Amino acid sequence: MKERENAVILSQERIAQGIYSMWLKTKAAGEARPGQFISMYTNDGSKLLPRPISICEIDKEKGALRVVYRVTGENTGTELFSKMQAGDTVPVIGPLGNGFPFEKAEGKKVFLMGGGIGVPPILELAKQVACAKKQIVVGYRDAETFLREEFEQNGEVYISTEDGSVGTKGNVMDAIRENALEADMIYACGPTPMLRAIKSYAEENGIECYISLEERMACGIGACLACVCKSKEKDHHTNVNNKRICKDGPVFLSTEVEI
């Protein structure tokens, strides 16, 4: 069982409308992997449940993690986080989840795909994955293409926007088609409709594909069964056809799960 600790905020800034970037000094940085997440608690005693936030970057030398998150509304946990400043402390547990099996990409042409708030966890993956060809395909709502410069330092970047203001108009699959891109392995994180389309594309083309599922979580450690998804095989914990996204995931081989 991971222990809760008080992480120190090193810096925080708004990088797009409703999107914030926070660096945290935390022990979790020592063993973190791309695709994992941390559970962040507010200092408001009325909000008991943590917020699962994906890890965007890892700095093991400084013992720090970067999280990039979206404020989801007024008086929410994420809004409280956005008001915090350097020097403040925030209770966290992590790293949690399994992360991306990026070692499997060696010698292969790879798509690293992110959409919306599923974009941030792709950055550390792009930094660590060693492959023959690294194609980063990321989708945004509009011209606020946060993290774009960091991505461009780590691979070939292709952008889609819903309004067509940058790159391909449409979604990440439209960007793949427009640029005639090909790969033999996919890693992806984003909203369910996007992942469903990627899963279908991967299976139709015989591509090994790993997807990180976004889901509302409660405990974050696999005890409450609030974040299950349908799976092909029976889960040994519940003896039914489901997987706990927080504990068994959030990353799954696409053929393992039904979305």
Q: Are residues 199 and 172 in the same domain?
A: yes
Report how far Cα 247 is from the mean position of its chain's Cα atoms. 15
Q: Are residues 132 and 91 in the same domain?
A: no
CA atoms within 13 A on the CB side of 150: 17
Read off the CATH number of the domain in which 63 is found: 2.40.30.10
| Whether residue 32 is found in the same domain as residue 70 | yes
* Residue 210 covered by a domain: no
Residue 199 sits in the same domain as residue 108 = yes
Q: List the chain pLDDT tens, one digit each, 259 residues.
A: 789 999 999 999 999 999 999 999 999 999 999 999 999 999 887 777 889 999 999 999 999 999 999 999 888 999 999 999 999 999 999 999 999 999 999 999 999 999 999 999 999 999 999 999 999 999 999 999 999 999 999 999 999 999 999 999 999 999 999 999 999 999 999 999 999 999 999 999 999 999 998 655 445 555 555 555 555 565 565 565 566 566 676 899 999 988 8
Torsional sign, CA 134, 172, 120, 243: negative
* Same domain assignment for residues 13 and 72: yes
Question: 56 is in which domain, residue-wise?
Answer: 5-96
Last residue of a domain, one of 204, 231, 250: 204
Q: Is there a domain that residue 209 lies in?
A: no
The domain boundary, picked from 178, 204, 230, lies at 204
Domain ends where: 51, 70, 96?
96
Number of domains in the chain: 3
Q: Exposure of 83 by Cβ count < 10 A (0-12 exposed, 13-18 middle, 19+ buried)?
A: exposed
CATH number for the domain including 177?
3.40.50.80
SS (H, E, C) the chain: CCCCEEEEEEEEEEEECCEEEEEEECHHHHCCCCCCEEEECCCCCCCCCCEEEEEEEEECCCCEEEEEEECCCCCCHHHHHHCCCCCCEEEEEEEECCCCCHHHHCCCEEEEEEEHHHCHHHHHHHHHCCCCEEEEEEEECCCCCCCHHHHHCCCEEEEEECCCCCCEECCHHHHHHHCCCCCCEEEEEECHHHHHHHHHHHHHCCCEEEEEECCCCCCCCCCCCCCEEEECCCCCCCCCCEEEHHHHCCEEEHHHEEC
